[in-house]
Structure formats: structure tokens, C-alpha cells
Structure 1
Amino acid sequence: MSDKTPTPTQPISVRIPEACRLTGIGRSKLYELIAEGRIEVVKVGAITLVPYASLRGLIEKG
């Protein structure tokens, strides 16, 4: 029997409100960064998803 503790998983993408919450960036500024191409988005029907890696990249670049 394995005694492994489950490791928390990182989301692949988040919706706009969650992206704002995770980064501390306001909605208007987030959309500005998207328009500038500094944050990547993926549209799935009417849903806009922000890849988690794109948010991490923005914050790591400073």
C-alpha cells in the first residue's frame, strides 16, 4: 500500500475574475494587458480563459 500524500495541482487556465484575484490586477488593467499581448487568452465559446502559465510569466517578468 502506498502512503503518498496527494500533491496540489496547478490549474491549466482560469477565468477573468480568478485571474484578477490571483494577480491582484484589476479587471480593466487585465484587459489592457491582454490587448497589448502581454497576457494570452483562449476563447472557448463565450468563455475567456487565461492560461495559468501566462499569468505566472507576467508576474515573473515583473
Structure 2
Amino acid sequence: MGKSNISQKDAYKLMLKEYPDIMTVEQMCEVLGISTKTGYRLLREKKICCLKVGRAYRIPKAHLFTYLCIGGEETSI
């Protein structure tokens, strides 16, 4: 599969405009089309970087683009 030619900055402006810059787990799962159980597993396994505020996870939209390999190289954690 080919590499995306869109920059992360352009993707940020064009994609997921209706979602906030900092998403909840439910919003992230809706975007990815996965269950919340799978979403929490991705966060626990640190496949998607997130912030934990109290007991709640918050996922910056930029981190979701990184996970999807849009506009940058995949990084290993």
C-alpha cells in the first residue's frame, strides 16, 4: 500500500473537521469504526498516544493522524 502524500497540517485542516481537537474514546472509536473495547485496548497497548485526565482518556486529533500514518513517519514507542 502506498504512502500518503498529504501533510499532517493539511490533514488536520481537511479531515475530521466536525470533531474537536481533543477527542474522547467514543469519538476516536467512531472515527476508526471500531468498538470501544478495541479502542481502550489500543490506548492501553500505547498504539495511540493519549492523555489521561483523571479516569478519562483524551486523544489529540494529531495523535490519531500519527497512528493512521498520515503526514508523518510511524514512530515506535
TM-score in terms of structure 1 length: 0.66
Q: 1:54, CA displacement in angstroms?
A: 1.5
CA contact (8 A) 1:23 1:55 kept: no
Alignment partners' CA distance in 2, 1:19 and 1:49: 9
**Root mean square deviation, CA, Å:** 2.4
Give 1:38's match in structure 2, choosing from 33, 44, 47: 47
- Number of equivalenced pairs: 55
Higher relative contact order (CA 8 A, sep 6+): 2
| 1:1-28 alpha-carbon deviations (Å, 9 max, x no partner) | xxxxxx8687321011111111112111
Structure 1 outlier segments of 4+, above 6 Å: none
CA contact (8 A) 1:33 1:39 kept: yes
Relative to its length, the structure with more strand (as a share) is: 1
CA radius of gyration, larger in? 1
